[in-house]
Amino acid sequence: MGLDRTAVVTAALELLDEAGLDKLTMRKVAERLGVQLNTVYWHASSKPRLLELMADAMLEGCADAPLPEPWDERARTLARRYRAALLSRRDGARVVAGTYVAEEHTLRFADAMTGAFLSGGHGAAEAGWRTWSLVYFTLGLTQEEQAAQGIGGMEPLLRAATAERFPSLAAVMEHFGDFEHRFRHGVGLIVRGREASA
């Protein structure tokens, strides 16, 4: 039976969910598939290349399902789908953050997001900047959320940010752990914010 790139990426994603990014190796992917290591390298020439393919696979379908017509709701919907895709995999945000992907699913998503802002009457530069801002905000917040899950939540930060030493931080700390609300708030600021002067 022939082995294709999709099978390699699927095996890598399964291993990611089981063991996390730090323990994912090309050798373990080969062992999972029952093939020689060079067979995996034939389909993904290096671990960074494998991570690119994994990152792209995570975004499959993000831009394909029907989207709302109003441009701002379209942008919000795409941001929610992006976050859901990252959260669907263990260390998903870390995988994507470490890549610079020029593959089909990633480009389709970026095109749909940029198109939403262009439809809202933004110029090319502003549409691009808002797309990047929304993607990077979502990626960074999701990385933080997944990291917090990995250490058992926000408790270490809550203990460290005492009112005596960090009064301003302590005053807002109760809101830090609500990642869903933080996400919605940030998306709203980016989508509906005023155009920045260049």
pLDDT (tens digit per residue) in 115-138: 999 999 999 999 999 999 999 999
Q: What's the CA gap between 86 and 66, in Å, rounded?
A: 20
**Domains of the chain by start residue, with CATH:** 5-45 (1.10.10.60), 71-192 (1.10.357.10)
* pLDDT tens per residue, range 32-86: 999 999 999 999 999 999 999 999 999 999 999 999 999 999 999 999 999 999 9
Q: Which two structure tokens, joined as six digits, stand for 94?
A: 């870390």
Tell which residue, 189, 197, 194, has the closest CA to residue 137.
189
Give residue 15's pLDDT band: very low, low, confident or very high (50, 70, 90): very high
Angle between helices 47-58 and 104-119 (to 10 degrees): 50
Q: What's the CA gap between 7 and 23, in Å, rounded?
A: 19
Q: Which two structure tokens, joined as six digits, stand for 50?
A: 């494998």
pLDDT > 70? residue 1: no
Contact 43, 8 (CB under 8 A): yes
pLDDT > 80? residue 164: yes
pTM flag (> 0.85): yes
DSSP-based helix, strand, coil % in the chain, nearest 5: 70, 0, 30
CB atoms under 10 Å from CB of 27, counted, come to: 10
